[in-house]
Structure 1
Amino acid sequence: MPEVLLRDRRILVDGRPELLLAGEVHYFRLGRADWADRLNRLRDCGGDTVATYVPWLWHELPDGSVDLTGRTHEQRDLAGFLDLAHQRGLRAVVRPGPFVMAELKNEGIPYRVYDEHPHLLPTTWDGAPISTRTIDYLAPEFLAAADGWYAQVMPLIAERLAPRGGPVVAVQLDNEIGMLSWVTNSPDLTDGLCADLARWAVERYGKDTAAARIGADPADPAAWSTALRTPAEERSLALHDDLGRYMRDRYRRYVAALRQSAERHGVTGVPFLVNVHGTADRRGRTFPIGISQLVEAYRGQPQLTSGSDYYLGDLTVGNVADLYVSNAFLAATHDRAQPLTCLEFEAGSGDYGEDLSTRYPPEAIDLKTRLCVAQGNRLLNLYLFAGGHNPPMAEPVGDGNNRIAFTGERHGFAAPVGPEGRLNATYGAARRALHAVRGVGDLLADGDEEHDGFALGFIRDHYLTEYHHPASTKRAAQVAELERFRGMGARDVLARALLLAGYSFPAADLQAPGGAAHVPGGTPPVLVLATANTLGSDVQQRLVDHLRAGGRLLLHGPLPTQDHDGTPCTLLADALGLRPDGWLEGGPHYFPSVVGHDWAAGPAEVRVGYAQLLAGPGERLLTEVGSGRPCGTEVTVGAGQAVVIATDYPCHLDFWRAVLDRLGVRPRLRHDSGDPGLLLTSTVDRSGQRLLHLVNVAPSAIEFGLWHRDKAVLSGRRLRIGARTGLMLPAGIRVGPATLVESSCELVARNGSNVLLRPTQTEDVAVFTTDRPVRADRGEVTMADGRTTLTVQAPDGEPVRVSVD
């Protein structure tokens, strides 16, 4: 029976890397007669895996028994649904909570858990009740209730695991842990949690330091709880810092407890998954908060990995860097075994409120799919793939509709397959995307993204910002500053410029344990970091060590001067020999501008939103026009080199290319189009087979020449990529006794010595090296210089069949 393992950032099924293309189908929202249709639709769409939540709220009956086989209602037959999926040739990812969200009431927790244990509902700031239905995760009563649920559901899942001949290849533990308290700024502050935080603080700092940081004796429960719930302003930064760090340790212990329960009840031999939440308003700027919250729960845990929840809507020049950087930051927090997965990959029209206020263009699915697989996602779960109907609760709860969810009777209005089975326009787009990926699935399953010699720094503590007491002005100012400058840089310009300028790059977790920045394949010579005035002493020291060892650094943002708890810290500024010497902030009647010098000179001065004036040595690169003072400089530190850009310079791609060029970064892929919107990257498998990934997020077609390591691709032939489309072009792919050296066609399928190619241009070529005859069902085949070239006129894009004798 097939074994399922996580190894080398791959999902291995029976020892072979696999790319899992899934769709979320909720059996509990569909009549049994509809299950086969939705599963068939999933297979037709290109999926090979079905994913589903298993709602505790629905399966537990009023008498306390649990129905998972349909004895009381056909839509409770989890066993039958998984067995039918297996019969249809589909694998399964099962997500049994205990929390499942999915618009379910109580987030899927039975009412009786709250009724029997009302103290599990946390209090929060100032002792106020929370506004959501979250629960104190580590309360013994809740863990016991969750273990009772697992005792029912996990054995049924265990019987259907892939290593035992069933369809289940992975199991998710809980759902979006910590999300509810974050989005409402309502940290769980029950008496039990406050007491546990006291224990944690004393173990971390000692009793006296813990008391000084929080402002109360940890041995006095009442005073300690009051100090946590209503922080004193002078201790606000330290208290918020400790609260965030404690919560992360708490989530780690919660996931460990759930895993132990699942294993105790029979689920072993398949990976566990933990999903990371955080996108908002069709952006990914807050997604790293979810990473920061949960990294301790998944990093380094054997046969467990994280999965993203991506709700970004359309993909444009405005948010494409959000998706790219989110994948990079998540990968940076994985260990060497853990692959990227996406457990909720937004599919559908976006009309979640059934009010026609939003309609995403269908091609958004294709663009996001192509970018995610290029970055190494090994599992994509289209969420939601099929809608359905919310059945009534087993007994009245008096809430107006008595159904299991708050969306009314119908659910999943925006899904590619609607509640009644009707297909919307996104179904066809999803089908095209999944089939395009499936044609090169083996290359993607065993391929890794290639990069350009630098990494974008990820500071987990810059995202320790989910809580702020409403009355704390110091904390509000710190959070606002971090939100402005962290991650992708002020106005997101840094990450957007790097990506649209043609670079591909990983992220470096600059707080990884072990003393070195964690980057797959090793730390590159150049680090790029968007920072704020707040930067931890540990990170500052790592950057200093990096420079003194001969590394190079691009620092974008204000010079750091304090640690996260408010302690002054200028380790990095001191090593650079720089100090802040003034701040100019733009406003409605003040317009700071900067001008570049030497290699940073541009065609004109440019307006900026802020400029931090710098004092100290180094070459002046940017000066603020009004004062003539530097706000950008280049300095030498030991054997290293740093470029400091202390202003939000606009997204002028030539400027940012010049900065990276100065630091020795040369892109391996480049194009000559002056129109922004074309992203370039590549993947290569362990045998050297390569795919060139081209994604055009612009609203217009782009024509260009393409170079790979300064060699013209396709002998300099110009390419055209349509508006909002993508291409995956083969390079060095084995086809029986031949090698497909390069082609302007996409691969549709490969089987031994036969290949099916999809033309993408009005005239396409495919170049082979082989000593055997190459035949095609149409087009012209020529031989010259040891190469065989197929030329096809194919304006209709119909696939071409090619065989190598």
Structure 2
Amino acid sequence: MIEIKDRQILIDGKACIILAGEIHYFRLRREEWQDRIDKLKDAGCNAVASYVPWLCHEPSSGQVDLEGKTRSELDLGGFIDLCKQNGLYFIVRPGPFIMAEMKNEGLPHWIYSKHPEIVAAGWDGRPIPTRTVDYLAPAFLREAHQWYSHVMRVIAPRLHDNGGNIIAVQLDNEVGMLSWVSNSPDLSDYLLADFAGWLQRHYDSQTLQTRYPFGLDDAQARVAGLRSPGEEYAAELLHDLGYYMRERFARYIAILRNYAEEFGVTHVPFIINIHGTDAGRGHTYPIGISQLYEAYTQDAGYISGSDHYLGDLQIGNFQDLYLMNAFMAASNRPEQPLASVEFECGSGDYMDSNSVRHDPAAVSFKARMCIAQGNRLLNYYLFSGGTNSLLSEAVNDGNNRIAFTGERHGFAAPVNPEGQLSYSYWPLANVNKAISAVADKLASMHEEHDALAFAFIPDYYMTEYHYPASARVNEIVKDLEAGRGKQAWEALGRSMLLAGYRFGALDIQNRQFDPQTTPLLVLPSAKYMDGMLQRKLVQYLQAGGKVLLYGEVPLFDMEGGRETVLADALGLKPAGSRRASQDYYLSLCAEGWLAPRPEVSTQYAQFFESASGKVILRAATTGEACGFDIQVGQGRAVVISAAYPSHIAVFQTILEKLGAQAGLTHNCKHNGIFMTSSTSEAGERFLHILNLDGFDKELHIFEHGSPLFDGRLLQLQRREGLMLPLNLAIGDVRIAYSTAEIVGINDEDIEFRLTQSQDVIAIASPRTVAPSQDYDVERRDDLQVVISRKPAVLDDRLTLRFG
């Protein structure tokens, strides 16, 4: 039985960590399957995942081959069964869309010629530049139903509950991604008629006539008015179309799930994967959450899974992954765990041009952070490369292959198309070994948080369908992009994490919050914010909540109408704004309790006159105020209405003024250290540490002011990640603390990876640590303190045996 419960994945009642690797059976010769599976097992994975390409299995309408009759490598059932014979779970991803660099994103060519009406038009009736279709077009759904009738009959008998090894099924792939990246909503005639009906259900006729001054029931007027919206209602369309598409995607996913269940695929989690990283950053990732959270929270039995391509995790972008995971957790249902179904794991040289080479620590850092935050499933994508076969019917598109990457595919994978191991293979295998050794502990642990939360507003990311010719819409979108993401992530997120704060996110748009459960809210804000949400924030403040508002104080609702509920409650009267330019060097000076600080330059500041608050930040030359400390009812707000840079001490001072102390701190003069901790209900813990820089560091670590590891000075090697046990029980052995990382557990011994010039492992156990030439043992009260004789730099493996 597969269960999703308490943010865990339970298989036959046992909480599990799934470490999968993506192997495309259809891109390998059948005789290569076992070799790639062997390499996956040797890398420490316990599951295989694969897309199932409709394009390959039904190249001509009605000619379906899932048994390998036309090409032996198309035997889907045979590949899944081979994985089972090797003791591996399986995650199947049957589309209809699969992306994976396939032509038509994996749809057969014939579906476009057979059903031209499923190809939607975009803004102003222009052709859509991608190969997406209208997901709910009746003809497309009929064909998808037929495809599922074939593929699900292969999947159903191989489900875990039926004695097989399939533990999850993904429905479609990156739903809505193509329309987002191209800003090309699927404005087919069918969709526009459906959208008109949605509008009529959500607004009364008088309101609707005001919002859309044309006849929605007139097909010609509807098409013209919605594909080429007038300036007077383009912002309303941005808002309504975004809400409608969320609901539409949820309908599409529910339909696919019904199809799967109709053909026997039941009692298995259905995965919905979330897209959104761009150019190695995560600022746009929550667009995918915004598009799809209604789809994966509409009912029990779904898991949301991230797709992320962040390259190296460094000082400049590590906060992106942390915030992405936090926002996913904030949007999930209470039982849904974090998961990643496209977990970037290779060199990053996706163009096979020797232009990119990720640091060997990249996969380790990302895996460690995800596991620390509660991810229960990582699917390393792409684990193994392969070959793009020729299409059965030539299409004369330049290569006549199933994909557009040429003959070879997966150049960047840890196992290359020819089956050779890349340099990225061993870091992946090593981090898997560390995770697997304590997977039974990690599978039910949750991240510990300090007394604050990062606010998440899904509607701030609902910008994927903006009419490009509308000046009003472009202004709203530009401001939201600035307020929601880059500057806040760079300044707030990075500073908080480097200061040692551990935090989750809170969906303040859709969830209730109060000062008792959330004493402090860190709020990235734009000039636009829904009036109802502004009122929620005012009520929260008046009841005793505390807020750090960063960016801009909202003065308008999400459609550009004047809305100053929050500003009025804060006693702030708008007094203009300024931007830096090549001739104007906007700078800010701290005052009051934020001073003394050096003057800093910035790109933007929004100014106010304050009725009662204390000013803490002003423009250097004009004295205009853009930072305030304000009492609101029983609560308190610190407002920074400027793009203040990532100065750790500044934000730490502000948060401490608001009552939030960082639980984990260190004394290294160089920052660039990420720390968090996870714990179980029994109080067993891990301390997770990343040295984000390319040089070694020394530090003492403190928790709530008290030293950890008996006050020992720790050494962090360059680009090193650690997962150190605290109060961890292994049978009758309790590890009070250890500077070495557990990498193996057997009946009579525990294997560690040494990390220091002299590691220390403190153990409480009725059994005695057996003597060894590799370590000394000292008795300290009820602890046996093991001191390694082997410096990690010379030999980093130590096995602790018990008498």
Structure-1-length-normalised TM-score: 0.97
- 2: distance between equivalents of 1:727 and 1:14? 31
* Alpha carbons 2:753, 2:797 under 8 Å: kept: yes
Q: Give the secondary-structure state (helix, strand or coil) at the position aligned to 1:486.
A: helix
1:612 aligns with 2:606: yes
- Aligned match of 2:697: 702
C-alpha deviation, 1:615, in angstroms: 1.1
Matched, 1:593 2:587: yes
For residues 333-374 of structure 1, give each alpha carbon's deviation from its aligned partner in whole angstroms, at most 9, with x where no partner exists. Answer: 001110010000011111111112212122111111111111
> In 1, Cα distance between the equivalents of 2:738 and 2:659?
31
Amino acid at match of 1:780: D
CA contact (8 A) 1:491 1:648 kept: no
Counterpart Cα distance in 1 of 2:608 and 2:546:
19
2:781 to 782, 785, 800: 785
Query: What's the counterpart of residue 181 of structure 1?
Result: 179
2:743 aligned to which of 748, 760, 779: 748
Equivalent residue number for residue 74 of structure 2:
76
Q: Distance in 2 between matches of 1:652 and 1:456?
A: 18
Output aligned runs, 1:114-513, within 5 Å. 114-487=112-485, 489-490=487-488, 492-512=490-510
Secondary structure of residue in 1 paired with 2:522? strand
CA distance, structure 1, for counterparts of residue 362 and residue 54 of structure 2: 34
- Cα drift, residue 63 of structure 1: 5.6
What is aligned with 2:635? 640
Counterpart residue number, 2:660: 665
Q: Could you tell which deviates more after superposition, 627-636 or 307-316?
A: 627-636
Question: 1:228-261: per-residue Cα shift (whole Å, max 9, x none)?
Answer: 1111112111111111111111101000000011
Match of 2:522 among 528, 547, 563: 528
TM-aligned CA deviation for residue 516 of structure 1? 4.0
Distance in 2, Cα, partners of 1:544 & 1:708:
33
Aligned residues of 2:476 and 2:560 also touching (Cα < 8 A)? no
Report deviation, 1:775. Answer: 2.4
Distance 1:508 1:501, change over 3 A: same
User: Given the superposition, is the C-alpha separation of residues 280 and 488 from structure 1 closer, same or farther in structure 2, using an over 3 Å criterion?
Assistant: closer
- For residues 490 and 748 of structure 1, do their structure 2 counterparts lie closer, same or farther at Cα, with a shift above 3 Å needed? closer
Q: Does 1:576 align with 2:570?
A: yes
**What amino acid is the match of 2:781?**
D
1:562 and 2:567 aligned: no
Question: Structure 1 residue 540 and structure 2 residue 534: aligned?
Answer: yes
Stretches of structure 2 that go unaligned for 5 or more consecutive residues are none
Contact 2:192 2:222 in 1 (8 A): yes
CA distance in 2, matches of 1:604, 1:709: 29
- C-alpha deviation, 1:61, in angstroms: 4.1
Q: Which runs of 5+ in 1 are unaligned?
A: none
Query: Matches of residues 733-772 of structure 1 in structure 2 within 5 Å?
Result: 733-752=728-747, 754-772=749-767
- Report the Cα offset of residue 753 of structure 1: 5.7
Q: Distance in 1 between matches of 2:248 and 2:61?
A: 33
Distance 1:212 1:443 in 2: 58
Q: Deviations over 1:303-354 (max 9, x none)?
A: 1011000101111111111111011001100011100100000111111111
2: CA distance between counterparts of 1:261 and 1:620? 60
Alpha-carbon distance between aligned partners in 1 of 2:113 and 2:624, rounded to the nearest angstrom? 65
Q: State how far apart, in whole Å, the 2-side matches of 1:232 and 1:48 are.
A: 55
Q: Distance in 2 between matches of 1:683 and 1:776?
A: 32
CA distance in 2: counterparts of 1:419 and 1:645, whole angstroms: 52
CA distance in 2, matches of 1:181, 1:786: 62
Q: Post-superposition shift, 1:300?
A: 4.5
- Matching residue's letter, 2:194: D
Query: 1:749, CA displacement in angstroms?
Result: 2.1
Distance (whole Å) between structure 1 residues aligned to residue 573 and residue 565 of structure 2: 11
Per the normalisation by structure 2, the TM-score is 0.98
Alignment partners' CA distance in 1, 2:746 and 2:532: 52
1:623 and 2:621 matched: no
Question: Alpha-carbon deviations, 1:87-143, whole Å to 9, x = none?
Answer: 011110000000001011111111121111101100111111111111100111111
Aligned Cα RMSD in Å? 1.5
Percent of residue pairs identical: 46
Bigger mean CA offset, 580-589 vs 30-39: 580-589
Q: Specify whether residues 540 and 804 from structure 1 end up closer, same or farther in structure 2 by C-alpha distance, changes over 3 A only.
A: farther
User: What SS class does the counterpart of residue 51 from structure 1 fall into?
Assistant: strand
1:180 Cα deviation from its structure 2 partner: 0.7
Report the Cα offset of residue 493 of structure 1: 1.1
Q: Is the Cα contact below 8 Å between 1:349 and 1:359 reproduced in 2?
A: yes
- CA displacement at 1:207 relative to structure 2: 2.5
Give per-residue Cα distances to partners, 1:571-612, cap 9 Å, x unaligned: 111111112212121111111211212331144211121222
One-letter amino acid of the structure 2 residue matched with residue 706 of structure 1: I
1:19 aligns with 2:17: yes
Worse-superposed segment, 406-415 or 764-773: 764-773
Q: Secondary structure at the match of 1:511?
A: coil
Cα distance in structure 1, aligned partners of 2:195 and 2:105: 26
Shift of 1:787: 1.9
CA-CA distance at 1:75 after TM superposition: 1.4
2:759 alignment partner, SS class: strand
In the alignment, the residues of structure 2 paired with residue 7 and residue 688 of structure 1 have an alpha-carbon distance, to the nearest angstrom, of 20
Aligned AA for 1:533?
K
Letter in 1 for 2:134: D
Q: 2:128 & 2:210 partners in 1: Cα distance? A: 28
